[in-house]
DNA sequence: GTATGGAGTGAGTGGTCAATCACTCTTTCT
DNA sequence: AGAAAGAGTGATTGACCACTCACTCCATAC
């Protein structure tokens, strides 16, 4: 469907960014914030264009259609998250699997503290997974993320699974605004995780 | 906004269901399945009406607007889930907190095995929480659910938190179709949880 | 200096959506 | 029999949406 775009991204990875490619990058960054609010279905391309400060028609020159744009945003967000986890993994002194996992969990908590749009986009992507291209992107996203966490930590299935379970708990808590509410149920859900 | 509807539901809880109320119940049951696919923003009222076998205009006689309809669907789904957890809680022999929690987790896994629309609606509700009425409904939903699980099991914060973390992990796994894929990453994410 | 190509836009187009309204048919009450 | 109330529908409306196209402006290349 959007092979021109994929190959384009792949081949231009190394060489200098042209002006249009730079624009694409800027659009991806601002589009994440726009899509974070109401997701793939609830966000119009006009809103995304307005958020990026370009016309809607030019948005359609940068991306072939809305689905491709959204998938690119999702991949950009997941790349950002992976980079932050990687940074934490190399920064930890110990090589103990549990220590690496804890460092990555802490890094994630800090990351989403001031970039909650990242996890919101990911949650919206989960919910739009019935759209074929988005569903495929989401599956490969999680596949890469799980394999990365496994290899970076060297931990077995159990702790890796718990790492993701707690991550999803954070995601839900942030996305429903539970972090802004102080009540017994939010204290239970967020006990020992509050880094925001 | 929709007080007439809330009070209506409250007052008619006890007495016999009129035909219109019966229709409302049927619509809620089928609407959950329709909303499960593409959520609040991605599902049209015409699709919901078609799924329920009524005209779109009559759907608007049964519910004042789309948002109220969706909130009613969400509350219906959460009620169903709570009922299944309650059933499991009374059925367990032991009164040990961990045993009750395990029984409820098993019941949840079995429930979503043949009613994945329930968790899909809940996830879509999370993502539509920026809509004021939906956000409020979702927060009270989770508040009730957490308090219910806490009181039914008698467990402290830690195990209750883990119960929900694993639940959200299941939700994400099902919603992205990870349960249909056999790969290292899905085996890690679903190790020891496969009841579907 | 003028041609070529890329950045960027305004003005649409056909279609869909939430919501409304006037209307019919059926049941029930008197 | 006839009024009143409720179940249910078809047609419509104005707003919005994804997507297109003809167009302008501005570099650089010759």
Whether A40 and B42 lie within 8 Å, measured CB to CB: yes
Q: What is the dihedral of CA A108, A113, A114, A117, to 10 degrees?
A: 80
**Residues lower than pLDDT 70 in chain B:** 1-18, 194-196
Q: What is the pLDDT of residue A195?
A: 65
Asked if strand C comes closer than 7 Å to A143 Cβ, the answer is: no
Angle at B136 between CA A43 and CA B89, to 5 degrees: 115
The whole-angstrom separation of Cα B125 and Cα B40 is 7
- Per-residue pLDDT tens for A42-91? 999 999 999 999 999 999 999 999 999 999 999 999 999 999 999 999 99
Subset of residues 54-113 in chain A with CB less than 7 angstroms from any atom in strand D: 56-57, 60, 65-67
b (16+ CB within 10 A) / e for B99-112: ebbbbbbebbbebb
Per-residue confidence (pLDDT) for residue B3, from 0 to 100: 44
pLDDT at A9: 44
User: A5 pLDDT band (50/70/90 cuts)?
Assistant: low
The confidence score (pLDDT) of residue B124 equals 98
- pLDDT of A102 strictly over 50: yes
Interface test with A, best of B34, B160, B161, B184 (most A CBs within 10 A): B161
- pLDDT at position A196 is 56
* pLDDT score for A124: 98
- Higher-scoring residue by pLDDT: B36, A11: B36
User: Global pTM?
Assistant: 0.92
* Whether B50 CB is under 7 Å from strand C: no
- Across the range A163-183, mean pLDDT stands at 97
Confidence band of A14 (pLDDT split at 50, 70, 90):
very low
Q: What is the pLDDT of residue A6?
A: 43
Structure-token pair, residue B21: 């109320």
Per-residue buried b or exposed e for A59-96, using 16+ beta carbons within 10 Å of the residue's own CB = beebbeebbbbbbbbbbbbbeebbebbeebbeebeeee
Question: Is the Cβ pair B126, A39 closer than 8 Å?
Answer: no
**Residue A114, CA distances (Å) to A149, A164, A178, B49 in order:** 22, 20, 16, 41
Q: How confident is the model at residue A132 (pLDDT cuts 50, 70, 90)?
A: very high
Tokens of A114: 């001031």
Can you give the pLDDT at residue B95? 86
Question: Are B176 and A37 an interchain contact pair (Cβ–Cβ within 8 Å)?
Answer: no
The pLDDT value given to residue B93: 84
pLDDT computed for residue A7 by the predictor:
43
Chain B residue with CA closest to A119: the answer is: B127
């Amino acid at each position: 469907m959007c092979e021109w775009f994929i190959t384009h991204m792949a081949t231009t990875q190394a060489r200098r960014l042209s002006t249009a490619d730079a624009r694409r990058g800027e659009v991806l960054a601002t589009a994440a914030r726009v899509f974070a609010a109401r997701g793939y279905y609830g966000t119009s391309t006009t809103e995304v264009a307005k958020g990026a400060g370009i016309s809607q028609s030019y948005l359609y020159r940068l991306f072939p259609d809305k689905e491709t744009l959204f998938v690119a945003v999702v991949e950009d967000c997941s790349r950002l998250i992976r980079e932050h986890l990687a940074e934490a993994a190399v920064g930890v002194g110990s090589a103990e699997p549990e220590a690496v996992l804890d460092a990555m969990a802490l890094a994630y908590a800090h990351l989403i503290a001031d970039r909650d749009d990242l996890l919101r986009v990911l949650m919206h992507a989960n919910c739009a997974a019935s759209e074929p291209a988005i569903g495929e992107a989401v599956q490969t996203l999680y596949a890469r993320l799980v394999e990365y966490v496994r290899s970076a930590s060297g931990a077995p299935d159990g702790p890796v699974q718990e790492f993701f379970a707690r991550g999803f708990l954070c995601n839900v808590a942030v996305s429903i605004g539970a972090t802004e509410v102080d009540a017994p149920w939010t204290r239970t859900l967020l006990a020992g995780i509050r880094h925001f």
